[in-house]
C-alpha cells in the first residue's frame, strides 16, 4: 500500500497544472484526490513493474490511496505500529522546482512481502 504525502498547496498547484481546474472551485477536493490518485497509480505501476521486470517476478499490489498528511498520521490511520527501525518503506521524492510543487510517494510493504522481495533481490547480486 502506498500513500502520497503532499502538502495541500503543492497538491492544488499540481492538479491545476495537470487538469486546468482552478484552486478554490467547488469540486477541487475531489478533482485533487482523483488526479493525484491517478498520478500515484502511474508511478506505482512504473516502480513495481520495473522491480518485477528486474526480478523476473509478478508482483501484486493494491491501488494507491491519496492522503494529505504526515507519515506519522498515515501510520496512525492505518494502525501501523512497527518496532523502531523495522518498517519496510520506500520513499520517492517528487519535485517540480519551477512550479514550487513537492510531495512524497510512500510505498508501505507488508513485512512478509518485503522479506520475500529482499530475498529475491539478493539472488541477482
pLDDT tens column, 44-55:
898 889 889 998
Separation in Å, CA 111 to CA 82, 107, 117: 10, 12, 10
Could you give the CA distance from residue 105 to residue 93 in angstroms, rounded to a whole number? 7
Is residue 57 predicted with pLDDT exceeding 80?
A: yes
SS (H, E, C) the chain: CEEEECCHHHHHHHHHHHHCCCCCCCCHHHHHHHHHHHHHHHHHHHHHHHHHHHHCCCCCCCCCEEECCCHHHHHHHCCCCCCCCCCCEEEEEEEEHHHCEEEEEEEECCHHHHHHHHHHHHHCC
Is residue 1 predicted with pLDDT exceeding 50?
A: no
Is residue 89 predicted with pLDDT exceeding 60?
A: no
pLDDT of the residue at 53: 92
Q: What is the pTM of this model?
A: 0.72
Per the prediction, the chain carries an average pLDDT of 77
Q: How many domains does the chain have?
A: 1
Range of 43's domain? 2-123
Is residue 7 predicted with pLDDT exceeding 60?
A: yes
Amino acid at each position: 500500500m502506498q500513500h502520497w504525502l503532499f502538502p495541500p498547496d503543492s497538491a492544488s498547484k499540481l492538479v491545476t497544472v495537470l487538469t486546468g481546474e482552478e484552486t478554490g472551485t467547488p469540486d477541487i477536493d475531489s478533482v485533487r484526490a482523483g488526479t493525484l490518485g491517478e498520478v500515484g497509480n502511474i508511478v506505482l505501476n512504473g516502480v513495481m513493474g520495473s522491480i518485477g521486470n528486474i526480478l523476473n517476478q509478478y508482483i501484486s499490489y493494491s491501488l494507491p490511496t491519496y492522503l494529505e498528511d504526515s507519515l506519522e498520521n498515515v501510520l496512525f490511520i492505518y494502525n501501523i505500529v512497527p518496532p523502531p527501525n523495522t518498517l519496510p518503506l520506500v520513499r520517492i521524492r517528487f519535485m517540480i522546482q519551477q512550479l514550487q510543487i513537492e510531495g512524497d510517494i510512500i510505498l508501505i510493504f507488508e513485512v512478509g512481502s518485503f522479506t520475500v522481495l529482499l530475498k529475491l533481490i539478493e539472488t541477482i547480486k
